[in-house]
Amino acid sequence: MKTVGCISMSELLLNTIKMIKPLDKKAMAEARARQDILTKPQDSLGRLEEVSIQLAGIQGKPIPQLKDKAIITMAGDHGVVAEGVGNWPQEVTAQMVYNFLRGGAAINVLARQAGARIIVVDMGVASNLKSHPQLLSRKVAPGTQNIASGPAMTGEQAIRAIESGIEIVNDEVAKGLDIVGTGDMGIGNTTASSAICAVMTGKQSSKVTGRGTGITDEQLAHKIKIVDKALTVNHPDPEQPLEVLAKIGGFEIGGLAGVMLAAAAHRIPVVIDGFISGAAALIAAALSPQLKDYLIAAHLSAEAGHRILLKHLGLKPLLDLDMRLGEGTGAALGIFLCETSARILAEMATFAEAEVSERNED
């Protein structure tokens, strides 16, 4: 085992990180060359062209294919809700998980449209959820501890959360997986994510803490104070991402970080959703900077810190729809656009094939 800060990195985590390689430049060059001879002005499809080239580099194929699509939505509760940081009771986490399993949530609608399967994971819901054939139980504990009074979890629990995400992706790869989206559910998780964002980006908590599910100005001021208190009590070190996760994170955040690392290790593109997925990406990218090349930001969330977070990661969102729901809803839309970009590259005719004259360079 390798020790990072005061937390020992497991063999599974270490080996997963070692598997993450640079993008395939040859495949990207071939994809770029094909884009330039398709029946359109060069670069006229903008980001769709850029995404198709990134996908080629990730998969190592000049013409990437996105047949098997999945969204992994992880749920976990947060002890910090005891501080009154939001409007919704903690039991909503479990209730929404059941809604996912019944197919009635926004993520279900959007995933169906995108043709993606949903994997719902209990990473640390405070309730004892009933068994369900579509529910994966990877419960680390029934919710984290209150970060305003101490660490969210132990170092061992942080590793276990990340490993769970890795193992789930490894299992999904065996079933067929070409692209994965990340989603979350957990009352209180924007508070933990704000704390992570403040630490990892070096920004003041007042700049990165948002309204979550729609709190008032007075409630927002209180939430910022709680984030500040959590940082003062725990002293997380941005150079030690596992420590940051353990001190101020969440089980679903750790699990999503593991999903991202494992996907990159298997050369699978990762479409990240909003602020909570972004917080997980901050942890994962700090463990493996190479990971950033495998990430595609689906959208710019309405959460205050999301723009700062994406800029820190060097990611440019595909959409800006003022969304702040989570669940993987933005990721589903992003997966649809990624498939669109890949299909344009594969199916659009070249100038020669269509017998269309190319631009005169004279």
DSSP state of 299: B
pLDDT at 362 over 80: no
Beta bridge partners of 319: 299
Who's near 182: CB < 8 A, 6+ residues apart?
Answer: 71, 72, 73, 74, 256, 259, 260, 270, 271, 272, 273, 277, 280, 328, 331
Residue 54 pLDDT class (50, 70, 90 cuts): very high
- pLDDT tens for each residue of 228-253: 999 999 999 999 999 999 999 999 99
pLDDT at 5 over 90: no
Determine contact, residues 79/143, Cβ cutoff 8 Å: yes
Mean pLDDT of 60-70: 98
Q: Indicate the pTM of the whole model.
A: 0.96
- pLDDT given for residue 4 in this prediction: 44
pLDDT at 114 over 60: yes
- pLDDT tens for each residue of 299-352: 999 999 999 999 999 999 999 999 999 999 999 999 999 999 999 999 999 999
Query: What's the token pair of residue 342?
Result: 């890949």
Least confident segment among 193-207, 209-223, 254-268:
209-223
Domains and CATH numbers, the chain: 68-338 (3.40.50.10210)
| Residue among 297, 299, 259, 327 at smallest CA distance from 109 | 327
Determine contact, residues 317/310, Cβ cutoff 8 Å: yes
The set of catalytic residues is: 327
Dist CA 76 CA 52 (whole Å): 34
- pLDDT given for residue 13 in this prediction: 97
Residue 2 pLDDT class (50, 70, 90 cuts): low
pLDDT at 1 over 90: no
- pLDDT tens for each residue of 255-273: 999 999 999 999 999 999 9
Q: Express as a percent the part of the chain with pLDDT over 70.
A: 98
Helical (H) or strand (E) element with 275: helix 275-287
